[in-house]
Amino acid sequence: MLPPLPEEQLLDLPSSLLDLLPVGVCVCDIEGNIIRCNRAAEALWGRKPTRAEGAMAKVLANGIAVRNSGTVVERPDGTRVVVAMTVDPLRDPAGQLVGAVACLSDVTPDGALPPVIGQQTSDPLPYLPPDLLDALPVAVYTTDAAGTITYYNQAAADLWGCRPALGESTFCGSWKLYWPDGTPLLHDQCPMAVALRERRTVRNVEAVAERPDGSRVPFIPFPTPLYDRSGVLVGAVNVLVDISDHKRSSRLLTAIVDSSDDAIVTKNLDGIITSWNGGAERLFGYTAAEAIGQHITLLIPADRLDEETGILARLRTGERIDHFETVRQHKDGSPIDISLTVSPIKSENGVVIGASKIARNITERRQALERQRLLLREMNHRVKNLFALAGGVVMLSARSTQSVQELASAVNDRLAALARAQSLTLPDLTAEGGLTERTATLHDLLRTILSPYETRDAARPRLAIEGIDLALSGGSVTSFALLFNEFATNAAKYGSLSTPDGTVAIVCSERENMVHIRWTERGGPPIDAVGKERGFGSILVEATVAQLGGEISREWDTPGLTIKLSAARDRCVAPPPV
CATH of the domain at 311: 3.30.450.20
- Name the 3-class secondary structure at 115: coil
Single out the residue in 317, 333, 361 at which a domain terminates.
361
In terms of domains, do 190 and 291 share one? no
Q: Is residue 382 part of a domain?
A: yes
How many CB atoms within 10 Å of residue 24?
A: 24
Write the single-letter amino acid at 542: E
Q: Is residue 112 part of a domain?
A: no
Single out the residue in 344, 361, 378 at which a domain terminates.
361
In terms of domains, do 394 and 433 share one? yes
> Are 486 and 541 spatial neighbours (Cβ–Cβ below 8 Å)?
yes
In terms of domains, do 185 and 227 share one? yes
In terms of domains, do 279 and 196 share one? no
In terms of domains, do 326 and 374 share one? no
In terms of domains, do 434 and 562 share one? yes
Single out the residue in 361, 390, 425 at which a domain terminates.
361
Cα 191 to Cα 202: distance, rounded to the nearest angstrom: 6
In the 8-state DSSP scheme, what is residue 109?
T
Q: Is residue 80 part of a domain?
A: yes
Residues 6+ apart with CB under 8 A from 93: 6
Q: Is residue 467 part of a domain?
A: yes
Q: Is residue 119 part of a domain?
A: no
Q: Is residue 253 part of a domain?
A: no
Instruction: Specify the pLDDT at position 315.
Output: 82
> Are 113 and 222 spatial neighbours (Cβ–Cβ below 8 Å)?
yes
In terms of domains, do 427 and 298 share one? no
In terms of domains, do 94 and 199 share one? no
> Are 487 and 525 spatial neighbours (Cβ–Cβ below 8 Å)?
no
> Are 236 and 195 spatial neighbours (Cβ–Cβ below 8 Å)?
yes
- Name the 3-class secondary structure at 249: helix
In terms of domains, do 341 and 393 share one? no
Write the single-letter amino acid at 6: P
Write the single-letter amino acid at 353: I
In terms of domains, do 332 and 303 share one? yes
Instruction: Specify the pLDDT at position 385.
Output: 63
Provide the β-strand partners of residue 358. Answer: 264, 341
One digit per residue, the tens of pLDDT, for the chain of length 578 reads: 223 333 333 333 334 556 767 778 888 899 999 988 888 888 888 888 899 888 899 999 999 988 777 778 888 888 888 888 888 888 888 888 988 888 888 877 654 333 333 344 434 333 344 455 676 778 889 999 999 999 899 889 999 999 999 889 999 999 899 999 999 999 999 999 999 999 998 888 999 999 999 999 999 898 989 888 788 898 998 989 888 877 777 777 777 777 788 899 999 888 899 999 989 999 999 999 999 999 999 999 989 988 888 888 888 888 888 888 899 999 999 999 999 888 888 876 678 888 889 898 887 777 777 777 777 776 776 666 666 656 666 665 666 566 777 677 766 766 666 666 566 656 665 655 555 556 788 998 898 888 877 776 656 788 999 999 998 887 788 788 878 878 888 888 888 988 888 899 999 999 989 999 999 999 888 775 444 555 656 777 888 898 899 999 999 888 889 999 999 999 888 887 65
In terms of domains, do 216 and 265 share one? no
Residues 6+ apart with CB under 8 A from 164: 149, 152, 173
> Are 415 and 450 spatial neighbours (Cβ–Cβ below 8 Å)?
no
Distance (Å) of CA 242 to CA 127, 134, 140, 464, 500: 26, 16, 11, 92, 96
Instruction: Specify the pLDDT at position 559.
Output: 86
How many domains is the chain partitioned into structurally? 4
How many CB atoms within 10 Å of residue 397?
A: 22
Q: Which domain, by its residues, includes 422?
A: 367-572
In terms of domains, do 331 and 476 share one? no
Q: Is residue 41 part of a domain?
A: yes
Distance (Å) of CA 397 to CA 383, 448, 497, 518: 21, 18, 12, 27
Q: Is residue 75 part of a domain?
A: yes
Instruction: Specify the pLDDT at position 120.
Output: 42
How many CB atoms within 10 Å of residue 246?
A: 16
